[in-house]
């Protein structure tokens, strides 16, 4: 496979790496899946966890014929948090439009694959068309949304034990205040920014969402995925819950059955 690194901003964490499968032996790409998979890593939005978590997934996807965009972004502790982390995810996805001509990318199908905090960001990004309906009045500036027709639209999402409800995650104090750390304060102090950043407030999403959760996960409770899927479907969305064997990290282990199920779903979304 080939890999190409591109920066979408001036900060050292504003980059993505494109993993491209080798051409078929006969030079034909006709049987290859069309589109791009955006891999968004987790780590509870903290700076000590980076795109190295997503690289094995991007490599595996490319090994199975898919083009993967392993996205890095600013996290809390290295210039990220509210609103920079959210701006970076949208800008990083949109940067595919800039690199598409270099690699003849088909952006009609763009699937986001996000683990843990990355699952939150993937689902949130899929609802970007609804962000204008929510005021982020307490932000220093309006969130980057790229409403000029150049936005790259997510067409499907696979959430891997995603933190899909910020309100629940804050209430449960997951990972010792991770939501407080990401948002720069509590929902009591900053209700609008929390509302803006919570994918629960963007339901129903206009794309299918497959919510995959490990039955032995001790890092992100299954209840977050269950609540999201129940609420999404009640509001007319297309959400599917799949419970798979394994802990939180089995979902990002290319050798694990849990991850292989995620890969299978991604492939189906690109079909």
Q: Please state, in angstroms and rounded to a whole number, the distance separating the CA atoms of residues 93 and 113.
A: 12
Instruction: Please answer whether residues 122 and 161 qualify as being in contact, where contact means their C-beta atoms are separated by less than 8 angstroms.
Output: no
Q: Please state, in angstroms and rounded to a whole number, the distance separating the CA atoms of residues 218 and 222.
A: 9
Phi, psi of 158 (to 5 degrees): -120, 115
DSSP annotation of 220 reads: S
Which domains, ranges and CATH numbers included, belong to the chain? 2-270 (3.40.50.1820)
Distance of CA 218 to the CA centre of its chain: 20
Instruction: Give the residue ranges of DSSP H helices in 176-234.
Output: 178-183, 191-197, 222-234
Burial grade of 174 (CB within 10 A; 0-12, 13-18, 19 or more): buried
Consecutive 10-residue runs of the chain (271 residues): their mean pLDDT?
Answer: 97 98 64 89 98 98 97 97 97 97 96 98 96 68 56 97 98 98 97 96 97 98 98 98 98 98 98 91
pLDDT digits (tens, 9 = 90+) for 48-96: 999 999 999 999 999 999 999 999 999 999 999 999 999 999 999 999 9
CA distance from start to end of the chain: 21
pLDDT digits (tens, 9 = 90+) for 8-26: 999 999 999 999 998 765 5
């Amino acid at each position: 496979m080939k890999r190409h690194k591109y920066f979408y901003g001036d900060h050292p964490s504003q980059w993505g790496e494109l993993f491209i499968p080798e051409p078929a032996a006969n030079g034909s790409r006709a049987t290859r899946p069309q589109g791009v998979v955006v891999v968004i890593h987790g780590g509870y939005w903290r700076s000590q966890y980076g795109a190295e978590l997503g690289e094995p997934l991007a490599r595996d996807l490319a090994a199975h014929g898919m083009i993967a965009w392993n996205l890095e972004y600013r996290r809390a502790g290295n210039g990220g948090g509210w609103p920079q982390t959210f701006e970076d995810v949208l800008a990083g996805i949109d940067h595919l439009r800039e690199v598409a001509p270099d690699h003849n990318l088909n952006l009609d199908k763009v699937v986001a694959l996000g683990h843990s905090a990355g699952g939150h960001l993937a689902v949130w990004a899929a609802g970007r068309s609804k962000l204008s309906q929510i005021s982020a009045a307490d932000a220093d500036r309006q969130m980057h949304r790229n409403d000029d027709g150049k936005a790259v639209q997510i067409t499907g999402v696979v959430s891997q034990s995603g933190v899909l409800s910020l309100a629940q995650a804050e209430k449960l104090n997951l990972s010792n205040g991770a939501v407080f750390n990401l948002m720069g304060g509590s929902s009591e102090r900053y209700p609008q920014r929390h509302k803006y950043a919570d994918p629960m407030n963007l339901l129903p999403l206009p794309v299918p969402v497959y919510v995959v959760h490990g039955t032995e996960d001790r890092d992100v409770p299954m209840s977050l995925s269950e609540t999201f899927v129940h609420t999404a479907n009640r509001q007319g969305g297309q959400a599917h819950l799949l419970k798979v064997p394994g802990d939180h990290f089995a979902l990002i282990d290319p050798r694990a059955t849990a991850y292989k199920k995620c890969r299978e779903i991604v492939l189906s979304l690109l079909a």
